[in-house]
A and B are shown apart, each in its own frame.
Chain A
Amino acid sequence: MHPALWVSKTGLSAQDTNMSTISNNLANVNTTGFKRDRAVFQDLLYQINRQPGGMSTENSELPSGLQLGTGVRVVGTAKQFTQGNLQVTEQPLDMAVNGRGFFQVLLPDGEIAYTRDGQFQLNADGDVVNANGYPLEPNINVPENTTSITVGTDGTVSAVVENQAAPVQLGNVTLVNFVNPQGLMAVGNNLFRETNSSGAPQEGEPGIGGLGTIEQGMTESSNVEVVEELVNMITTQRAYEMNSKVVSTTDQMLQFLSQNVG
């Protein structure tokens, strides 16, 4: 069949993937702690139809060969871990990381997941949990009759309990960092899992060793740039249209051939 058909097909499917990435970014424009993805394109291998420098006859040589590209593909999506804007919510258990680092939450299967979404709440036992009910790791338990909770920028959590003059120290929120955060696996629910390419988590106190500080009463908004996404959407749509035009032109050529020869 006509090779241009397959080449344009790769173009169509790559633009399609790009569009899903863009629409996912846009869909998450208001998701706390969301980090946008960017599709990475790569041209596919080139086929050598005629070797440059080959002999066309005994006495003449081809000055330039024919190497035909076979299309394009999306090799990956790169998460962009740039800082999102910090929004003031004034909720005592909302925390934002200002700088690098992730919160740790304990999944029901016993594994640890990592998140930038710092909207924490209390469950019935007084444990600090995220929106899905997964407890913060290390666990912080807030006693009954607590009137106010304070989280320091270094992660120290203290509470003022009724009828007690001195605040009670409840524990520390720690953060972890990765050598290559782009290698983390996004598993949905604003959570990431460790992989071989992200490296092992390096736990530390917020504000020290390259980790960001914790800002109480704030959440980190998504780092999606709406204008950028919309511009990308337009270029993707046009690229898709043009590739589909090649498909239809090629198809008409084959149709013409089969109608007129044979």
Chain B
Amino acid sequence: MDKSIFIGMSGAKQTMLAQQAHANNLANVNTTGFKRDFAQARSMPVYGEHFPTRAYAMTERPGTDLSAGALMETGRGLDVAIGGEGWLTVQAETGEEVFTRSGSLSVDVNGLMRTATGEPVLGNGGPVALPPYDGLVIGQDGTVSIVPVGGPPDQLVQVDRLKLVNPPQDALMKGTDGFIRRKPDQAIDGAEPLDVNVRVESGFLEASNVNAVEEMISNLELARQYEMQVKVMQTAKSNSDATARLLQNLG
């Protein structure tokens, strides 16, 4: 059989993987704070002691688009969006410090501030813990102040400050849990340093940065590419059929 059929097959298979990446972006078009993934293909020559004619396609995720999404007003005091660059730090299930821009926060029964998915939000010294309060205000610099229970509303008490960080974008990657973290080769000793210039907007949430039109077009484009790869397989098959017929006629 002609080897080109395998090349066509690898192309078709990698196209399917790229399409999964785009489908995932599109599925998360309404997910708060979601950052879309890039997908690209590159050619991988087949190494070995043979004539170097074959190069397979290989889909890869070169990175994640960390650009900001639109801000949506919710009016809820515990919803925070980051204006400009920067990240909220939360504690992942593994215990490590990870970054997110999904700021739909809530306070649990023990007074711990958590993200919508349950991870504790980190402040100046570990997770933010709030005493019982009547009112809560998150300032632009991440300062969390409360009106204590029964206290006069004009006497706010500063409790903690959200840990807002801004590591360099090229040092970041998305982990398998969807949170952003430092790449292993860009790790720093100790905790991520605080960045005092990061600003939060209380009462807003950041929408997903997925461009739906772009993802749809990529999806259609990949579908056509897939058809072309199938065509290569089909051609390889008809070539092979023709060869078989020739051999039959010889006999």
Contact = CB atoms under 8 A, between A and B. Distances in A.
Interface residues of B, number: 65
Interface of B: 12, 16-17, 19-32, 34, 37, 44, 47, 58-63, 74-76, 104, 106-111, 116-117, 132-134, 149-150, 173-178, 184-185, 212, 215-216, 219-220, 223, 226-227, 230-231, 233-234, 237
Contact of A257 (B12, B34, B104, B174): B12
B12 A7 contact: no
A238 B212 contact: yes
A62 B44 CA distance: 10
B19 A250 contact: yes
14 contacts: A2-B16, A7-B23, A14-B30, A40-B116, A43-B178, A46-B175, A69-B28, A71-B27, A78-B106, A235-B30, A242-B212, A250-B223, A253-B223, A257-B226
Per DSSP, chain A at the interface is: mixed
Given A66-B61, A257-B230, A260-B231, A43 B24 contact: yes
B212 A66 contact: no
Nearest 9 interchain pairs by C-beta = A11-B27, A69-B24, A199-B109, A4-B23, A41-B31, A7-B23, A3-B20, A210-B134, A40-B116
Contacts of A3: 16-17, 19-20, 23
Contacts of A11: 23, 26-29
Interface in A1-52: 2-4, 7-8, 10-11, 14-15, 18, 38, 40-50, 52
Contacts of A64: 60-63
A76 interface: yes
Interface of A: 2-4, 7-8, 10-11, 14-15, 18, 38, 40-50, 52-53, 56-57, 62-72, 75-76, 78, 80, 82, 100, 179-180, 182-183, 196-199, 208-210, 235-236, 238-239, 242-243, 245-246, 249-250, 252-253, 256-257, 260-261
A45 B27 contact: no
B109 A183 contact: yes
A197 B110 CA distance: 9
A76 B16 contact: no
A43 B30 contact: no
Nearest to B116: A40
A96 to B, nearest CB: 18
A198 B24 contact: no
A261 B111 contact: no
